[in-house]
Chain A
Amino acid sequence: MANIQEKIAKQFPEATFEEGEILLVNIPDDKWHDLAQFLKGDETLHFDHLLTIVGMDWVDKFGCVYYLSSSTSNELLSVKVTTEDREQPMLQSVHDVWTIATTLEREVYDFFGIIFLNNPDMRRLFLSIDWKGYPLRKDYDMSPENNPVPRENERQEDVTYTYVKDEKGNVEKKTVTIFEPNDFVVNIGPQHPATHGVLRFRTAVNGETIKKIDFYSGYIHRGIEKLCEGLTYPQTLHFMDRMDYFSGHQYHHALCLAYEKALGIEVSRRAQVIRVLMDELARIASHCLFLGTYCMDLGATTMLFYTLRVREQILDIMERTCGARMTFNYGCIGGVMQDLHEDFVKDVKELLAVIPKNIKEYNELFIGNVIAKGRLEQVGNLTKEDAIAYGVTGPSGRASGWACDVRKTHPYSIYNELDFEEVVYTEGDSMARTKLRIAEIEQSAKIIEQLIDNIPEGEYCVKVPKVIKLPAGHWFQMVEGCRGAFGVYIESDGGTSPVRLKLAPPCLPLANVVDHLTQGSKIADLITISGSLDYIVPDIDR
């Protein structure tokens, strides 16, 4: 880390540093673009993956915290850029350095009204174009009269805007067309059985060939980040079940780890093992459901019944311990909510016994099927470079040859003691993404096998203060959700509720990459490609 600091300080003397778990670089806005290019371009630093952009409103100033990671050394770095202008805050865009920044900057613009100069697409991302105000600003007026429930269809524009600064320093707003006037635009979604929720694609087609896709989200934007600012720390936990509802356990794990890190709480070994067991069970259930619904999208309805058989068995195990089928709310600060059910070990062993048989069946029924091969192989090829540039993590990134499993790259909890393989394929097509998930089921089962016989005795939840107050500061924690790297950023001022709680979901980059993957393919492949990425829309929208 000292090495990174030295290197940056040599090139950019104006940068200041804050030591911490992750090095934080403060840089003035006019140098930010140069620093970004240096960070990515330098061979030893090589920060090529932009994890997230955390927009911030510190009342006296606006700013962004960029979290970067290197795909070669797995180092993490954060960069803070601020502006004091409250009337028209502006920052440099880094969309030409990291492709995913185009969309992440749109999100920050939507929530904080920070304009990113040179970003080619400065529209709102989640809220409609007529929305008044920027909701995550501290002075936002929440009253419903301000933004009533719309009764009319939303206004639609075929153009977007970009803000460019000329030599004299004047900012000019330019119009950019999304679709040409003679483009034939087909609307897919938000109510469509194969978009996996309420996502909307405006698709320009040339005959059957896709020319361009403009994705619209926000049809399930529930404002979780803003809601968390008004709740106490333990209360914020239950939202984690309702974002990516298959990765509820992992997301709980992430937020609990972040809080425990801030509070300096040491979690008992038993609780850690229970959490990892639940994470991996959830991963198996999630990948099973993926396979079922994906096959259903492709027209193979029966697969759903085969894969849900295993999922129901896992849900039974979870229900016995956690008391719910889907929204478990199981992890809590200091451990888990309640102890394991007495039959847990027996039930899990029964499950482990049936998994290999089921996987064999899935392979026979679907993966080896000629029709499936024809529809999936060489469809939607994603290269490793593009996966990193678009920030596609999780199984979809690993299918493109990018070893990005957070359990291996930034081990948390007890993952570094466990023996499991990070499955990486290099094909990068839809078939690889599907097969990789089946291989991950096997690896998760392997982890469970190692742990199930030696769950240590001890308390399942350590004693924590009744009123939880985080010390002033900020923390970042990543875990591997079922669909990719999930990050949480917490900023506290020492009170009982967070000043800012940013959730960096893995599914936003996944939905964002659909346009890139489908250009030039047939429209029938859109379902194949978007299905194989396996995004969950409430996770995109939060």
Chain B
Amino acid sequence: MRYDEWKDNEYIEQLVEELKANGTNVIVGSFDKLINWGRSNSIWPLTFATSCCGIEFVSLGAARYDMARFGWEVARSSPRQADFMMVAGTIVHRMAPVMRRLYDQLAEPKYVIACGSCAISGGPFRNSYHVVKGIEEIVPVDVFLPGCPPRPEAMIYSIMQLSRKMRVEKFFGGVNRQEKIEEFLAAHPEEELNA
């Protein structure tokens, strides 16, 4: 990927603009930068894989693609120690509540990458009776990563994208509060969840 293409990122620019709209406190803003610098360079994934994409995630951890270079190597088996979950693979009806629970168990601030076309939309199995048509029905998603399965390079790009997003976020009074979950609950009212 060329550098100017890498810099060309409307989504992040839009996010920065939104955050700058109300101005930032100098001291809090500096602390934000410091903390975000640390946060964005050590994002730990949750080992969560249901199918094919999970094997590419294994390749990502191995010597050739070596995600340890970027500070992501500590794949955690417990959601309480992880920063983000990479939903690698198809999510089916039976798995949906389990995945939701895993998401709830992640400590704030938490992020989700929808990895592969199955997680994005159901992919080749979209017409099936037992497949969730995209995980956005269940959890909020930060980065969508297309591919069937995405190449490890693409996975690296997606996590880098997530790390850039983390870097421009407001930490104090922002993501360290549970605003995201409230936002999500407002969009999905309780009655609907229990229905």
In the bound complex, residues from chain A placing their C-beta under 8 Å from that of B51 are 197, 220, 242, 245, 537-538
A232-262 vs B, Cβ < 8 Å mask (1 yes, 0 no) = 0000001101100110000000000000000
Contact A242 to B97, CB < 8 A, known contacts A308-B64, A312-B64: no
Which segment of B2-10, B123-131, B161-169 sits at the interface?
B123-131
How big is the A interface, by class?
35 or more
Smallest distance from the beta carbon of A157 to chain B beta carbons, Å?
15
Contact A220 to B151, CB < 8 A, known contacts A198-B50, A239-B124: no
A223 touches B50 (CB 8 A): no
In the bound complex, residues from chain A placing their C-beta under 8 Å from that of B94 are 126-128, 150, 154, 218-219, 221
CA of A197 to CA of B51 in the docked complex: distance in angstroms?
Answer: 7
A220 touches B95 (CB 8 A): yes
CA of A150 to CA of B64 in the docked complex: distance in angstroms?
Answer: 39
In the bound complex, residues from chain B placing their C-beta under 8 Å from that of A190 are 95, 98
Residue A326 is within 8 A (CB to CB) of chain B in the complex: yes
Within 8 A of B (CB), among A150-175: 150-154
In the bound complex, residues from chain A placing their C-beta under 8 Å from that of B97 are 150-154
A191 touches B55 (CB 8 A): no
B59 touches A308 (CB 8 A): yes
State how many residues of chain B have any CB contact under 8 Å with chain A: 44
CA of A353 to CA of B100 in the docked complex: distance in angstroms?
Answer: 48
Contact A220 to B92, CB < 8 A, known contacts A127-B130, A153-B101, A242-B124: yes
B93 touches A220 (CB 8 A): no
Residue A327 is within 8 A (CB to CB) of chain B in the complex: yes
In the bound complex, residues from chain B placing their C-beta under 8 Å from that of A537 are 50-51
CA of A312 to CA of B50 in the docked complex: distance in angstroms?
Answer: 21
Residue B63 is within 8 A (CB to CB) of chain A in the complex: yes
Residue B102 is within 8 A (CB to CB) of chain A in the complex: yes
B77 touches A308 (CB 8 A): no
Output the nearest chain B residue to A194 by Cβ-Cβ distance: B77
Within 8 A of A (CB), among B80-127: 89-90, 92-98, 100-102, 124-125, 127
Residue B25 is within 8 A (CB to CB) of chain A in the complex: no
CA of A191 to CA of B59 in the docked complex: distance in angstroms?
Answer: 20
A326 touches B62 (CB 8 A): no
Smallest distance from the beta carbon of B139 to chain A beta carbons, Å?
12
Contact A227 to B50, CB < 8 A, known contacts A147-B93, A308-B59, A327-B149: no
Q: Identify which of A127, A309, A325 contacts B151 (C-beta below 8 A).
A: A325
CA of A492 to CA of B137 in the docked complex: distance in angstroms?
Answer: 37
CA of A408 to CA of B95 in the docked complex: distance in angstroms?
Answer: 39
A325 touches B56 (CB 8 A): yes
Q: Identify which of B59, B92, B149, B195 contacts A219 (C-beta below 8 A).
A: B92
Smallest distance from the beta carbon of A327 to chain B beta carbons, Å?
6
Contact A150 to B59, CB < 8 A, known contacts A230-B127, A245-B51: no
Residue B132 is within 8 A (CB to CB) of chain A in the complex: yes
CA of A224 to CA of B97 in the docked complex: distance in angstroms?
Answer: 22
- Would you list 14 pairs from A and B whose C-beta atoms are within 8 A, ordered by A residue? A127-B130, A150-B96, A151-B193, A153-B97, A190-B95, A220-B51, A221-B92, A223-B131, A227-B128, A293-B58, A304-B58, A305-B62, A309-B63, A325-B149
